[in-house]
Amino acid sequence: MIAERLLENWLWRDYQEVDSTNNLAKAQSLAFDGRPVVYTAVVQTAGRGRLGRSWISRPGNLFMSQLFCPRLPVSDLVFITSVSVAETIAGLTSGLDIAIKWPNDVLIAGAKICGILIESADNETVVIGTGVNLVSAPPAGQLIYPAADLRSLGFDISREVFLAAYLRHFDANLELCRRQGFSAIRKTWLKYAYRLGKPVKINHGGRVLEGIFKGIDEQGFLLLKQDEKTIKITVGDLLA
C-alpha cells in the first residue's frame, strides 16, 4: 500500500499494483466495519468491465473501487455513479461534449472515457469499480468502441484531484437519491443521455433491436419505441 488517509467522507487506500481493485475490495468486504472505503491503484493488471470484458489499465489513469453499504437498490447505483463521473468531468474541464451511454458508459464526443462495474460483496456491501481515462486511452484496434482520455483533450488532471471531486459528487447524489428517490437522479441522467430521442440499435442477448430511444423508466430500463409500441430493455448494449 502506498497511502491510507481520509479523503472527503471515505477512507482512501492507494496501492502501487493490484490485479483488480474490485477483487481487492471484495476480499476486504469480509471485514467491513461500516466505514466507506475507496481502493485505488497506480497499476491494475487484470481489470474487468461489464459482461466479462477486460478493462485495459494504463498507469496514470484512475482505477477505483468503492466498498460500502448503500441502502439503495444496485440499479440506482449504476446511474448515481455515471452521473457523478459526468458531473466531475464537467466541473474540472470546459467545452467538452459529455454524454452517458445507457446504462453507464461515460463518453466525450462519442468516445468512451469511463467504464463502471458494480458487484455485490459480503456483509450487505457493494463494490463499485470505476475506470477513468485521465492520461491515455487504448488504441482503437484493442477496443469495441472508440476511447478518449482527458489529457489528449487538453486537461491534465491528477488521480487524487479527480477522485476527491468525484467522491463529493457521488456522496451528494447518493444522499439525493436516498431522500428524493430515483426520479431525482433519473432527471439529471437524462440531461446527459446519449442519443436521447434519436434512432438507436440495441444488442439485446445477441439480437439487434432498432427504434427510437425514449429515455429510461423508474427502474432504469431503456425505453425503445418501435412503431406504435414502446418496449423496455433491461440488459443490453446501446450500439448507435
Residue 49 has pLDDT above 60, yes or no: no
What architecture is domain 3-192?
2-Layer Sandwich (3.30)
Average pLDDT over the chain, rounded to an integer: 92
Residue 26: what pLDDT? 96
What ranges do the domains of the chain cover?
3-192, 199-238
Residue 52: what pLDDT? 47
Contact predicate 114/132, CB 8 Å: yes
Give me the mean pLDDT over the 186-196 stretch: 97
**Higher pLDDT residue, 74 or 59?**
74
Question: How much of the chain exceeds pLDDT 70, in percent?
Answer: 92
Give me the mean pLDDT over the 28-39 stretch: 97
Closest by CA to 102, choosing from 198, 225, 236, is 236
- β 62-68/207-216 pair status: unpaired
Contact predicate 158/165, CB 8 Å: no
User: Of 3.40.50.11540, 2.30.30.100, 3.30.565.10, 1.10.10.410, which CATH number belongs to 199-238?
Assistant: 2.30.30.100
Amino acid at 119: E
- The half-sphere exposure of 36 on its side-chain side, counting CA atoms within 13 A, is 19
Q: How many angstroms separate the CA atoms of 162 and 59, rounded?
A: 15
Contact predicate 39/158, CB 8 Å: no
Three-state DSSP state, 196: coil
Residue 240 has pLDDT above 90, yes or no: no
Residue 48: what pLDDT? 56
Residue 141 has pLDDT above 70, yes or no: no
Does this chain's domain 3-192 share its CATH topology with 199-238? no
Q: What share of the chain is helix, strand, coil (3-state, %, to 5)?
A: 30, 35, 35
- pLDDT-derived band at 51 (thresholds 50, 70, 90) equals very low
Residue 59: what pLDDT? 80
